[in-house]
């Protein structure tokens, strides 16, 4: 079939809206009509050529929602008409990682996914007879995409696509970092670095679990009002701190935070987040994705004296199991999404979403088809 897609032909170049060819689903695969997709900073990072796994040409996008149109042989868990969210972290429930119960990082199809291919080693997308790579196993910047059955979460049909799509990455990552990865307890003092599409969801997760101090740190002063809107108790703009930021935050949180979160992707900020933790027990969770080649550093003494450095992908969520529950949380009013969707655009204007993100003028832009 033909479908409209925003194709990343080259790094650092705007996406081009073209009609691509899409092959139907093979065994164990499903064809999904994408109804809406969010634009996450990770899409921008790959488009900017900062992703060591970046491939061009490819169809980016990993934060979508849509409807199953067709299933390939052997597919049993979804059927045409089901509403689904594509999963860049699949859940096969059979691999060593899934069976370990220690991680959400299913390894069933990770190798081919990282090469922009379906599990059988081929691409379903092509343009003018040449293959176009999939992205993060999702490629939601296309009106239609093919996904492995293990990479779709079936969701309730009454959830609006233009909000539910955000659960495909940002919401689940932020809220999940709090409840699944850090397992923050009520009364904890916490610091969130970076109050964008992910950090604000960390904040609303912290509010949900009853954290005491929720300190937000951002270099964009406009983010103070956004943070307070979702439960932030204190705001710190590093540009307004005259001395050492870490010392300032440690004093503010009475010896350091119980939990800190990096949602910037900046390795210097990751160090500040670790070192703002309380001696003896503070835990820092890295959410941000750093540019290819960047490394983190701290004095080992920081860990010797009890601080813990960890990371999280997709908020530690097991997609097929947890995503439908997060959709319920949204539909039941336990978490908010609507105010964070700051712009809804047609596919033809998708490049504006990247401009708004870079200008610090959006929390989440969503493209509707």
Residue from 3, 46, 63, 89 carrying the catalytic annotation: 63
Q: Which of residues 80-139 bind ligand AHE (CB under 6 A)?
A: 89, 105, 110
In this chain, which of 150, 191, 195, 350 binds ligand NAD, going by CB under 6 A?
Answer: 195
Counting contacts by CB under 6 A, is residue 314 touching ligand AHE? yes
Q: How far is the CB of 226 from ligand NAD (least distance, A)?
A: 8
> Three-state SS string across the chain, please?
CEEEEEEECCCCCCCEEEEEEECCCCCCEEEEEEEEEECCHHHHHHHCCCCCCCCCCECCCCCEEEEEEEECCCCCCCCCCCEEEECCCCCCCCCHHHHHCCCCCCCCCHHHHHCCCCCCCCCCEEECCEEEECCCCCCCCECEEEEEHHHEEEECCCCCHHHHHHHHCHHHHHHHHHHHHHCCCCCCCEEEECCCCCHHHHHHHHHHHCCCCEEEECCCCCHHHHHHHCCCCEEECHHHCCCCHHHHHHHHCCCCECEEEECCCCHHHHHHHHHCECCCCCEEEECCCCCCCCCCCCCHHHHHCCCEEEECCHHHCCHHHHHHHHHHHHHCCCCCCHHHEEEEEEHHHHHHHHHHHHCCCCCEEEEEC
Contact segment (CB under 6 A) with ligand NAD among 9-17, 25-33, 130-138, 262-270 equals: 262-270
Give the contact letters, 45-84, x = binds to ligand AHE (CB under 6 A), - = no: ------xxx-------------------------------
Q: Which of residues 196-215 bind ligand AHE (CB under 6 A)?
A: none
Q: Which of residues 263-322 bind ligand NAD (CB under 6 A)?
A: 263-266, 269, 287-289, 312-314
Q: How far is the CB of 45 from ligand AHE (least distance, A)?
A: 8
Give the contact letters, 168-187, x = binds to Zn ion (CB under 5 A), - = no: -x------------------
Counting contacts by CB under 6 A, is residue 169 touching ligand NAD? yes
Q: How far is the CB of 178 from ligand NAD (least distance, A)?
A: 13
Site residues for ligand AHE per CB under 6 A: 40, 42, 51-53, 89, 105, 110, 169, 289, 313-314
Question: Active-site residues: which are they?
Answer: 40-42, 62-63, 92, 95, 98, 106, 110, 169, 364
């Amino acid at each position: 079939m033909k479908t409209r897609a925003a194709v990343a032909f080259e790094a650092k170049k705007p996406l081009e809206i073209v009609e691509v060819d899409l092959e139907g689903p093979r065994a164990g695969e499903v064809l999904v009509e994408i109804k809406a997709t969010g634009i996450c900073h990770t899409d921008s990072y790959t488009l900017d050529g900062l992703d060591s796994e970046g491939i061009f040409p490819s169809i980016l996008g990993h934060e979508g929602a849509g409807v199953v149109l067709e299933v390939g042989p052997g597919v049993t868990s979804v059927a045409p008409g089901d509403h689904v969210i594509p999963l860049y972290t699949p859940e096969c429930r059979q691999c060593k990682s899934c069976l370990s119960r220690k991680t959400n990082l299913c390894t069933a199809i990770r190798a081919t996914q990282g090469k922009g291919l379906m599990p059988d080693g081929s691409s379903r997308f092509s343009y003018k007879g040449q293959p176009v790579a999939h992205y993060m196993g999702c490629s939601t910047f296309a009106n239609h995409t093919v996904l492995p059955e293990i990479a779709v979460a079936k969701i309730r049909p009454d959830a609006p696509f233009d909000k539910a799509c955000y659960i495909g990455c940002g919401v689940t990552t932020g809220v999940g970092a709090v409840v699944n990865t850090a397992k923050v307890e009520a009364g904890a003092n916490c610091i969130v670095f970076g109050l964008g599409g992910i950090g604000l969801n960390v904040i609303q997760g912290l509010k949900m679990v009853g954290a005491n101090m929720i300190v937000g740190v951002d270099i964009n002063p406009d983010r103070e009002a956004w943070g307070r809107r979702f439960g932030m108790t204190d705001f710190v703009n590093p540009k307004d701190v005259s001395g050492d930021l870490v010392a300032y935050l440690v004093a503010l949180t009475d010896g350091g935070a119980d939990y800190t979160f990096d949602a910037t992707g900046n390795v210097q900020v990751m160090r500040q987040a670790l070192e703002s933790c309380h001696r003896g027990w503070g835990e820092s969770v890295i959410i941000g994705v750093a540019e290819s080649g960047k490394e983190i550093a701290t004095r080992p003494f920081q860990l010797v004296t009890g601080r813990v450095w960890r990371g999280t992908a997709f908020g530690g969520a097991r997609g097929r199991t947890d995503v439908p529950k997060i959709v319920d949380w949204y539909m039941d009013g336990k978490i908010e999404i609507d105010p964070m969707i700051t712009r809804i655009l047609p596919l033809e204007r998708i490049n504006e979403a990247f401009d708004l993100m870079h200008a610090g003028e959006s929390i989440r832009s969503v493209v509707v088809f």
